[in-house]
Structure 1
Amino acid sequence: MKDENKRDLYLKVRVSQAEMDAIKRKFANSGMNTLSGFVRAMIFEGYIVHIDENELKRLNVLANNIANNINQIAHRVNVTNKVYKEDIEDIKSLADKLIQPLLFLQSKCLQLRH
């Protein structure tokens, strides 16, 4: 009867010196005991994550615009010493525009967990 967990096959992968250095650094930081175990863990449990940089930039621009608008409202409150209902509604509206993309991003990040 053959032991199915016996590791008697080899996987040969060519890497550059810079790639090998990076692998060794990651292995050293992993806390794992063997490079083979580390590589297997990365193959079977690792992730390749594609991040749409345009979406992140759009989210960053939105957050900056919201921060600027809130700062303008805060400045107006400090100058006039009055809080206007419209300003509060604007802040709530701006927060609503930001929360949906952040919740989407959070859900995607949580999907990466086992």
Structure 2
Amino acid sequence: MSKERDRKIPIQVYLSENEKYVLDEKIKESKMRNISEYIRHLILYGYVYDIDYNGLKEYNYQIAALGRNINMIRERIMKTGNAYEEDLNEIKELMDKIWHTHESMLSKVPLQKL
């Protein structure tokens, strides 16, 4: 006497060879018994993150601009042979802006459980 399946709806997914390899590796790492168990777990407990990377363009522009400012100060120090306190203070302010920009960008990335 055979037991009737609880799950009666099959699904079919087409993968490239590379995607299949990645899936197989993830299943191995998960220690789950088979692909069905792994995919059911993803459906029930997994998350899909839709991250808008458009902010990275502005972020990169701001970081590059700060880098150019720091480089101009470095060139001035190299030419004069003197590091003036106002130059060092400006570098500190620019570094603070870099960290502020970096923290702002990271705050927009969703948290993930590892």
Using the size of structure 2 for normalisation, the TM-score is 0.69
Aligned counterpart, 2:6: 8
> Which amino acid letter does the alignment assign opposite residue 82 of structure 2?
K
Higher relative contact order (CA 8 A, sep 6+): 2
Give runs of ≥4 in structure 1 deviating > 3 Å.
10-18, 104-110
Aligned counterpart, 1:61: 61
Q: 1:36 to 1:105 in 2, by over 3 A?
A: farther
Moved more, 66-75 or 38-47: 38-47
Using the size of structure 1 for normalisation, the TM-score is 0.69
Unpaired stretches in structure 2, ≥5 consecutive residues: none
Q: 1:72 to 1:107 in 2, by over 3 A?
A: same
Aligned counterpart, 1:111: 111
* Identity percentage of aligned residues: 29
Cα deviations by residue, 1:51-103 (Å, 9 ceiling, x for unpaired)? 22220111111111111211121111111111122222222222222222322
Partner Cα distance (1:111, 1:17) in 2: 28
Whose helix fraction is larger, Structure 1's or Structure 2's? 1
Q: 1:74 to 1:10 in 2, by over 3 A?
A: farther
1:79 aligned onto 2:75: no
Unpaired stretches in structure 1, ≥5 consecutive residues: 1-6
